[in-house]
Structure 1
Amino acid sequence: MTRPGKKRARASSGAPGGARNEEPGEGGADEAVAFIAEQTAALRKLAERHKLHVLHYLLGMTQLEADEHLRLRSRRKLS
């Protein structure tokens, strides 16, 4: 039992950099941004369907940011 106000320490994963766990298939930042863009598009459609205007707007901004990040990364790779 833990005391109120105290948090348990996380078990060390043994990986350098602390408790940063990478799941199989995580290919780095580019794959993460592509996944975020894809999921954001689906969430944006859901927000629009339910007339959640602010969420629709914010998810649209998130999608634009992810797409821009991917565009700039691919441009740098071509140079």
Structure 2
Amino acid sequence: MTTPGRKRKRAATAGQGGQRGDEPGEGGADEAAAFIAEQAKSLRELAGRHKLDVLHYLLGMTQLEAEEHVRLRSKRKLS
């Protein structure tokens, strides 16, 4: 409990000053996009088998977007 008029101090974190998603144990945005593409592909196949057409379509779009992100980022790194 805090006393009136005083604000709580923030708890110290290991990733202070770093960008979100760059905490230890996480691979950053590129790795996250690759993981999302992989998982979206699996979920899309599942949705297709069960004839969940809208989910199948949306997961396909998610997969394409994630793959595009990975492709563009790797292209920039090569330049």
TM over 0.5: yes
Counterpart position of 1:14: 12
Q: Which runs of 5+ in 2 are unaligned?
A: 1-9
Query: Given residue 68 of structure 1, which amino acid in structure 2 is its aligned partner?
Result: E
User: d(CA) in 1 for partners of 2:27 and 2:72?
Assistant: 18
The structure that has the greater radius of gyration is: 2
Query: Given residue 41 of structure 2, which amino acid in structure 1 is its aligned partner?
Result: A
Query: Given residue 14 of structure 1, which amino acid in structure 2 is its aligned partner?
Result: A
User: d(CA) in 2 for partners of 1:14 and 1:67?
Assistant: 35
Q: Which runs of 5+ in 1 are unaligned?
A: 1-11
Q: What's the TM-score, normalizing by structure 2?
A: 0.73
Secondary structure of 1:14's counterpart equals coil
Aligned-pair identity (%)? 72
CA RMSD of aligned residues (A): 1.9
User: d(CA) in 1 for partners of 2:24 and 2:53?
Assistant: 34
Structure 1 residues 13, 48: closer, same or farther in 2, change over 3 A? farther
Structure 1 residues 45, 13: closer, same or farther in 2, change over 3 A? farther
